[in-house]
Structure 1
């Protein structure tokens, strides 16, 4: 039986009503996966309002929260850090302002441990405390060699966009003292690709975004199919439209190392990869594609982001480009530049 809620930290309070959990995106994801959307529920999970304040650490709901499976799609999980000293479990209007949420999206190698190190330290800084969320989209979801599917937001058996939105619904319900309506998103390399495409589809959910060194980008080109362009976005993503005026309202950082000028793999590698994919499609009757195939990487990430900034400007979208001298393709090398961009925004200096 769940403990009664406590808002004071002295003992349980009686009669505290629970908010009805939002499950819109969890149900959408379940339906995409062929599950019974009506079976999705969240009201059986403890929230920080249910647990006396002094026991929140004992049930792992503040500090480092254990890696948690997404209920609508347990292949996907998330790590969460909630700074105990700055978190108010009271969701009532009398409570403190909800903590901002920083969402950090991993790259192709799935190293997401910054939530346990540098981002944990950042979250505890008194001038701009925040919670940190690190989703984990495992490799191999679309077959043994799949490392890219999460980057394009949609693949034959997954919707990483809906998965993240479903995670935010879970966090909103269980941690009502965290603001999940508009989040601060960072992503580097493959995570930068995810962040860029998420910005195109859901700008209203972003308080700010840092797009770090993506190897391949999606252009705001209505003549090119996804993920090269945005021609068929509404068809692929349940009627979602790309709204340039909404994208332009989001504070955007493009960040890359000054020495990040090489492509991943040689031209010969990309030729071999294209041939292998072609043969695989023959063997499966042409399955795949449908907005899931990334183009070859033809230029370095520094050049790619410079060109993207110029193209966006023509669409009325201003983005700050930070080039970190002496750094190649290294997330640690640009981390402080990313956090310097986020600090004043999370603090509210805008």
Structure 2
């Protein structure tokens, strides 16, 4: 089988690998990183759709769960789904958490994602200069920090159960605060743009384990203030919501009853939020 089948074979390959639940692709800008998509079949007939980026947690396995979990939503709401893969140990050191904090050595994970979005927008002939972002657990780290750095790239942000948060605190450095983001990332904090984004924060009210989220001196991401936002994920997410609200952001905070750290049990809440946001945006 060739990589470029001709005629009817080319159309069949596109239907199999590029539409619906797609193959897994390497990023052209940096092939160390990968992505899969759900592309509504109407895109094959030239339809214009919106884009949702759904970011995995530490295990990385949820990227396909999110691709498939949002596929029906995407089909009936005219929305493609892009699920990036940021592998463990991409620098050969076994590190698991670099993507959560946006920078790891010379890697800027926000820029990796932006390049992926630009790549797929060109491939499918779409205008995805703005997109929605969702992430759970480690992906929740990524989603809210991406929103802080690039609010003008987003039409919505859904932040699920991050273990640690970056509050909009101009008196503390990244990652606890935002004082040094100009020096670190080359961007100014744009509170006005952030306040224009519909934001949902979602966590189970039984998501109470702390073994993975308590920072200790000597840890890779230890810094003063690392645990100040609370002990548990619900406490920390409520602190993040308050920080965003203090900056003028309209935040919908969903504490899901009886749910622990279970990504699939919050997807319904996220889909409802995104569907309402899309309806308002299109009207």
Normalising by the residue count of structure 2, what TM-score does the alignment of the two structures yield? 0.88
Please say if 1:61 is aligned against 2:18.
yes
Which whole-Å CA distance do the structure 2 matches of 1:266 and 1:82 have between them?
A: 35
| 1:334–1:294 Cα change, 3 Å | farther
Does structure 2 retain, via aligned residues, the 8 Å contact 1:77–1:135?
A: yes
Root mean square deviation, CA, Å: 2.7
| 1:293–1:62 Cα change, 3 Å | farther
Which sits farther off after the overlay, 130-139 or 114-123? 114-123
Which sits farther off after the overlay, 191-200 or 62-71? 62-71
Question: The residue matched to 1:79 in structure 2 has which SS?
Answer: strand
Aligned to 1:134: 83
Does structure 1 retain, via aligned residues, the 8 Å contact 2:38–2:68?
A: no
Once the two structures are TM-superposed, the CA of residue 246 in structure 1 deviates from its matched residue by 0.7
- Structure 1 segments unaligned to the other structure (5+ residues): 1-45, 91-95, 278-288
Aligned to 2:95: 146
- Structure 2 segments unaligned to the other structure (5+ residues): none
Aligned to 1:255: 202
Aligned to 1:3: none
The within-5 A match list for 1:127-276 is 128-176=77-125, 178-237=126-185, 239-265=186-212, 270-271=215-216, 274-275=217-218
Which whole-Å CA distance do the structure 2 matches of 1:266 and 1:200 have between them?
A: 21
Larger radius of gyration: 1
Which whole-Å CA distance do the structure 2 matches of 1:65 and 1:299 have between them?
A: 39
Aligned to 1:87: 43
| 1:310–1:52 Cα change, 3 Å | farther
Aligned to 2:272: 340
| 1:218–1:276 Cα change, 3 Å | closer
Which whole-Å CA distance do the structure 1 matches of 2:55 and 2:45 have between them?
A: 26
Does structure 2 retain, via aligned residues, the 8 Å contact 1:114–1:120?
A: no
Question: The residue matched to 1:225 in structure 2 has which SS?
Answer: coil
Once the two structures are TM-superposed, the CA of residue 264 in structure 1 deviates from its matched residue by 3.0
Aligned to 2:33: 76
Does structure 1 retain, via aligned residues, the 8 Å contact 2:134–2:140?
A: yes
Which whole-Å CA distance do the structure 2 matches of 1:330 and 1:310 have between them?
A: 23
Does structure 2 retain, via aligned residues, the 8 Å contact 1:152–1:292?
A: no
Aligned to 1:312: 244
Does structure 2 retain, via aligned residues, the 8 Å contact 1:70–1:77?
A: yes
Does structure 2 retain, via aligned residues, the 8 Å contact 1:102–1:131?
A: yes
| 1:308–1:174 Cα change, 3 Å | same
Which whole-Å CA distance do the structure 2 matches of 1:159 and 1:293 have between them?
A: 23
User: Normalized per residue, which structure has more strand?
Assistant: 2
Which whole-Å CA distance do the structure 1 matches of 2:226 and 2:92 have between them?
A: 19
Once the two structures are TM-superposed, the CA of residue 292 in structure 1 deviates from its matched residue by 10
Q: Deviations over 1:168-187 (max 9, x none)?
A: 111111111x3311111110
Q: Report how many residues are paired.
A: 274
Question: The residue matched to 2:134 in structure 1 has which SS?
Answer: strand
| 1:257–1:317 Cα change, 3 Å | same
Which whole-Å CA distance do the structure 2 matches of 1:336 and 1:207 have between them?
A: 19
